[in-house]
Amino acid sequence: DAKTTQPNSMESNEEEPVHLPCNHSTISGTDYIHWYRQLPSQGPEYVIHGLTSNVNNRMASLAIAEDRKSSTLILHRATLRDAAVYYCILRDWGSGNTGKLIFGQGTTLQVKP
Partner 1 sequence: EAGVAQSPRYKIIEKRQSVAFWCNPISGHATLYWYQQILGQGPKLLIQFQNNGVVDDSQLPKDRFSAERLKGVDSTLKIQPAKLEDSAVYLCASSLLARKYEQYFGPGTRLTVT
Task: Check binding of 17 to partner 1 (CB under 8 A).
Answer: no
Site track for partner 1 across 29-68, x = CB under 8 A: -----x-x----xxxxxx--x-------------------
Residue 41 CB, shortest distance to partner 1, in Å, is 8
How far apart CA 27 and CA 106 sit, in angstroms, is 17
* 102 touches partner 1 by CB under 8 A: yes
Write b or e for each residue in 37-69: b if 16 or more Cβ atoms lie within 10 A of its Cβ, otherwise e: bbeeeeebeebbbbeeeebeeeebbbbbeeebe
- The answer to whether 72 and 93 are in contact (CB under 8 A) is no
The yes or no reply on residue 9 touching partner 1 (CB under 8 A) is no
Q: Is 8 in the site for partner 1 (CB under 8 A)?
A: no
Q: How far is the CB of 73 from partner 1 (least distance, A)?
A: 15
Cα–Cα distance, 48 to 86 (Å, whole number): 11
In the list 51, 65, 80, 101, the residue contacting partner 1 (rule: CB under 8 A) is: 101
